[in-house]
Structure formats: C-alpha cells, structure tokens
Amino acid sequence: MFMDYQGNNLRDFLKNNGHVVLQRVNNYNLRSFTKKEIEQITNGYSTLLGKGAFGEVYKGALDDQFLVAVKKYKDGTRKEEFAKEVIVHSQINHKNVVRLYGCCTEENALMIVMEFICNGNLNSMLHCRNANDHVPFPLDKRLDIIIELAEVLSCMHSMYSPVLHGDIKPANILLDENLVPKLSDFGIARLLSTNEAQQTNNIIGSIGYLDPLFNQTGILTPKSDVYSFVVILVEMITRKKVVHGDINLIQNFTNSLRRGKAVRRMFDDEIVDGKKNIKVLEDIAKLAAECLRLENRLRPEMVEVADRLRKCRKDLQPQRRGERTGSSVQLGSPGGYFLPAQLTTPIPVDPSIKNPPTPVLNITLAGLREITRNFSDDTLIGEGSHAKVFLGELKDGRKSAVKKLGQNPVVKNLDGFFSEPDEEFVLQVQTVSRLNHDNVVQLLGYCVDGNVRALIYEYSSRGSLHDILHGTNAAMGTRQGPVLSWTQRVKIALSAALGIEFLHHKTEPCIIHGDIKSSNILLFDNDVANIGDLLVSKNRPGYLDDLILDCVIPSRNGYDAPEYEATGEFTRESDVFSFGVVLLELLTGRISGYSQKSLMIRPMLGT
C-alpha cells in the first residue's frame, strides 16, 4: 500500500504540529530549523529562485556560508504534502538526488532546507528563451545526463520500500557546475511498501509528462515513472518542448516512428552528425517507443532502460584500435617479457564490459623465475590449498605479489572436471584488468607458459586485514596482531566498502566477488584497504557461464551467506553478507569460522 500518511500518522502530524516529521528528522540526522533561523538563512527571503504549486523557493546560506535552497510552503493547509515530501525525501541518499538538510515545522512556517544547485535546471538548458542564450549540448553529454537520471530512478524503484517520484520533468532535474543531474521536488512522490501499485483518487502530475494510463485508472506504478522519464528522453534527442501550443511532441514522435526513417527529421540538428550518431539516435528512439506503450506491463523496467542507454553511449564512443579483433588486455612486452606464442592469436572481447583496460604485463615462466629468484623460499609470503604467493620485483623496481596457481588448473562445471583452455584464463584476466579503482588491488601482469599460470598483483606492504587482526597464523578465537584504533578501523571499513561498491555498481556488467573475507582485504599506507583476489567465477565473461576456476573456489570459512550455502549461487547480497562478517571481525577482533559463527554473529543479531 502507499504510505500516504492518512489515518493515524497524519492525524498525529496535524495534532502535534509536525511530530511525525520531527521524528523523521531525528531518525535521519536532519536538522530542525526554527522560523527565525530560516529568516536569517534567507536574509529575509530576499532571493526568490522559483515558484510552484505548493510554494516558493528561496536562496540562503548556512552559518558556514554553505548555500542552500529553502522551499517555503504557501500556507498551513499544505501539511499533508509537506509531511509526505520530508518523509519520502529523507529515505533517499544518492549522488543524483538533491540532498535534504532539514526542515521547519512551526505553525504556518512549513519549510524544507535542501542543497543549492547552481546551474539551473534541465528545462532551461534544453529550451532557452532566445538564441543568445542557446547553449551547445552535444549528444555524449545528453546521454551522460539521461543515464544518470535513469540510474537514480532505477535505484529508487529497487529500494526495500520503493519510491515513485510521480512528477519527473526537466524542471525538476537540476544541474550542478559539472552538469551532473540532481533529481528534486518530491512533493507528490509515493513511498511503496511491498505492493507494486496502488490506486489513488488524487491524480497529480505535469501536462505532457503524466502517464496516460495513470491518468485513466488512477493506478501509479514504477512504469508511470518510466513513461515520464522517456518523455524527457524524447525532449533530449529532439530539443523540442513536450507541449507547444497545439503541437504535442509525443504524438508527433510516435507518428514519425510509424513511418520508419521519418523520425530522423525530428532529431535535433546539433546532434545529427555522421552515421554513428544517427544509428545511436535511432536506437534511442526504438527504446522510447517501447517505454511509451499504453500497456505499462509492456514497458521495460527502469533498470533495463538504464542498461540500454549505457549501451548506446558505448556505441557512440570512438572505436579503440584492436578492440574488435584482439584481446583488450594490452599484450605488449615492456621490461623484456614476452607473450607465449600460443596466445598471439586474436582473442574475442566481451562487448558488455565498459571499463577501459589497464595495461598488464605478459610474463614468461623465465621472467617469473627472475623476479622471484626462482620461487625461492625466502620470497614466499603466502600459501593456500591452490596457490602460493611470492614477493617479486619487476624490472621497473615495483614490488609485486606473484600468485602462482597450482599445476594444471582445471575448470569445474556441473558435468565434472576438464582442462581449462588458456584463452578462457586470459579472458578472465581481461575482465580484471579493466578494474581501475583506488580500493581494488591492481593487476600488474599474468603468465601462461606451459602448465604454469600466475597472476601478478601490486604488493601490499602491510599484508591483509586478517594478518593485522589475527596474526599471519592466528589460531581460532585468538586476538593477535597490532591493535587498530577506532579511527583506523572505520577508515579500513569505509575504503573496503567503496571497493565493493565499485565492483557491484560501477562496472558493466556488475562484478560479484564471491569470496569477501579479511584475508582478501589488503592494507596499504594510511590504512587504505583494497579488495583483492578478484579472479573468481563471477568475473567470467557471459559466454563462460557455469565455469568456475578450481584454483579460486572460495573456502567455506564462515563468510558465506546462508542463501549461498543453500543454493550455491553468488549474488551482490551474498557479498554484502560476507562484508558484514568482516565488519564484525573489525568490531570484535575475533576470527570468523564455522565453529565460531554462532559465537560471533548470533549475539550481534540478538538470536
């Protein structure tokens, strides 16, 4: 059902002058402003930024001179709308949503204090009033903006309590100094519980952007936001107003689509530049046609819309040399290392991966022997059931961790075991080589030479989090290793979380680690944590489904989510569970393991 704040919640608000909203302010660490404070912040409401149906927006500055926008509701009769906006807006913390700082709930002084966005809104940029104000707006920048908008809507629709905006239009999309879009105005947004739709008699929206099915039935769903979003998408590729006199943009657009290539005449002349642009614009037009279907069950979900727009952006980018005919791992031979002859033939590239590759070394077995002093015992820094790790020094002086996999590694699938082709190993290296992030361990090189396979990573001088917390050879339940301060633990947790966030949400396709544990979180100077051991089954290209490198199958050591133990399937959520176990290690200093899981986790959960 909708949380419309009718019934008890709204009565509490009306009776207690904002008790419900004040409770939300406290719960979400928002500031409660007084009417007098708002008057000071806005310098007596001296700078009007805009007006809307519910009120006026003024520019202000906090005590630290941080600029804010203050939305002042017109009168005391808007209490319900005010309560909804604060409560819904407070649920969302996203880089593409205007940040909510606090509110004022005094009688006849209902106000919301938000982040000030300096560059106006998308409507002003698209539809300048005169030629002198016309701003160049290339297709790649338009795609960047619309993709970020699609991503934040996808995020809102995927929340535990999904949020429907209900009034998506260019005037509600603000742009910062870098033209990063920020979604604003949650005045008519809806916060859903478990149901995907709900009927309302209060149909509110903007002409031209309102989902016609919602207008007919009063049933609002996530697909209603999809419709409104795609109206903006059509505006972006045509740079025409959605309603201009008697002209209806969407009606003209759909009529042109029915006539095939006639739709090209509607594209904005500024972005019709060459066959590549036209092809991308036609693909966007096809996507728009699907989203404008009257039957909302036939419209794609917002997450699919975002994926397809990202593909359009990728198609627009210049083709890199060798991208279609060879491996995206750069197979040069700096430092005197050479690629084995059997790997010089072209390797197919997974087209779904977006991130550009980082150059990696291709090192022969002889090269590995040289940098590790023939794998001498004094360079051995780690050992597991499937690999040994040696300290090496590259020709340029960089220290590295050389992970030498067991002889004749195999690939395991449901049918049994068989030898892993070299090409598949290199394709996985290709995927990992694209991960360039401050909190993900960098792959420097690899070796495929006869039966020997090795991965060369940047060296972590401080070792793993497991080493720090428990000692290199810690016994179960002991507290070994140097004591970390609270500040250090928070910094380590945050930087590790940023690395996992990058894998889950900033790569295409999403990368699921599958083996998050304290020994795979490596520490560098200044307590910066990096996620390591990335060559796992979930990182394989799509056409290697059901293959798992036997040398990197995660151990069952107390980090696995219960659903993985039941199904054998990794998900982003199972990574989150594993990271939660790592957080408990940081908090308690105790080591994880099946024999310890109930001792460590259940008391924290109150079970």
Closest CA to 371 of 454, 430, 460: 454
The yes-or-no verdict on residue 528 having pLDDT over 80 is yes
> Going from the N-terminus, what domains does the chain have, and what CATH number goes with each?
8-115 (3.30.200.20), 122-316 (1.10.510.10), 342-605 (1.10.510.10)
The yes-or-no verdict on residue 414 having pLDDT over 80 is no
For residue 388, the SS3 value is: strand
Please tell me the predicted confidence (pLDDT) of residue 385: 62
Active site amino acids:
515
Rounded mean pLDDT, 363-389: 86
- 280-311, pLDDT tens digit by residue? 999 999 999 999 998 888 999 999 999 999 99
The yes-or-no verdict on residue 405 having pLDDT over 70 is yes
Q: How confident is residue 247, by pLDDT bands cut at 50, 70 and 90?
A: confident
Q: Which residue has the higher pLDDT, 204 or 180?
A: 180
403 is in an annotated binding site: no
**What is the C-alpha to C-alpha distance for residues 394 and 442, in angstroms, rounded to an integer?**
14
The yes-or-no verdict on residue 260 having pLDDT over 60 is yes
The structure tokens 């957080």 sit at: 583
Cβ atoms of 319 and 287 closer than 8 Å: no
Phi and psi torsions of 94, nearest 5°: -150, 145
Please tell me the predicted confidence (pLDDT) of residue 300: 93
**What is the C-alpha to C-alpha distance for residues 157 and 152, in angstroms, rounded to an integer?**
9
Please tell me the predicted confidence (pLDDT) of residue 140: 93
Please tell me the predicted confidence (pLDDT) of residue 41: 94
Q: Which residue has the higher pLDDT, 93 or 487?
A: 487
Q: How confident is residue 342, by pLDDT bands cut at 50, 70 and 90?
A: very low
Rounded mean pLDDT, 119-140: 81
The yes-or-no verdict on residue 243 having pLDDT over 80 is yes
Q: Two tokens at 440?
A: 């993900």
Phi and psi torsions of 268, nearest 5°: -60, 125
Sequence-ordered list of residues with C-beta below 8 angstroms from that of 19, at least 6 positions apart, any chain:
12, 13
Please tell me the predicted confidence (pLDDT) of residue 289: 93
**What is the C-alpha to C-alpha distance for residues 481 and 474, in angstroms, rounded to an integer?**
9
Rounded mean pLDDT, 358-363: 74
C-alpha to C-alpha distances, 479 to 260, 488, 604, 605, nearest whole angstrom:
70, 17, 18, 22
* Backbone Cα Rg of the chain: 28
The yes-or-no verdict on residue 358 having pLDDT over 80 is no
Burial of residue 85 (number of CB atoms within 10 Å: 0-12, 13-18, 19+): buried
Please tell me the predicted confidence (pLDDT) of residue 160: 66
**What is the C-alpha to C-alpha distance for residues 223 and 296, in angstroms, rounded to an integer?**
6
399 is in an annotated binding site: no
Q: What is the pTM of this model?
A: 0.53
Please tell me the predicted confidence (pLDDT) of residue 396: 78
**What is the C-alpha to C-alpha distance for residues 80 and 13, in angstroms, rounded to an integer?**
8
Q: How confident is residue 114, by pLDDT bands cut at 50, 70 and 90?
A: very high
Phi and psi torsions of 564, nearest 5°: -70, -40
The yes-or-no verdict on residue 21 having pLDDT over 60 is no
Please tell me the predicted confidence (pLDDT) of residue 77: 60
- 547-567, pLDDT tens digit by residue? 232 333 344 467 888 776 666
The yes-or-no verdict on residue 325 having pLDDT over 70 is no
Rounded mean pLDDT, 124-145: 82
Q: Two tokens at 135?
A: 């701003």
**What is the C-alpha to C-alpha distance for residues 238 and 524, in angstroms, rounded to an integer?**
50
- 55-61 and 67-73 strand pairing: antiparallel
The yes-or-no verdict on residue 341 having pLDDT over 50 is no
Please tell me the predicted confidence (pLDDT) of residue 133: 64
Residue 534 half-sphere exposure toward CB, CA atoms < 13 A: 31
Cβ atoms of 453 and 425 closer than 8 Å: yes
The yes-or-no verdict on residue 332 having pLDDT over 50 is no
Rounded mean pLDDT, 445-461: 85
Q: Which residue has the higher pLDDT, 88 or 535?
A: 88
Closest CA to 115 of 153, 168, 59: 59
**What is the C-alpha to C-alpha distance for residues 504 and 571, in angstroms, rounded to an integer?**
10
Cβ atoms of 474 and 466 closer than 8 Å: yes
Phi and psi torsions of 34, nearest 5°: -95, 165
> Which run of H or of E encompasses 401?
strand 399-405
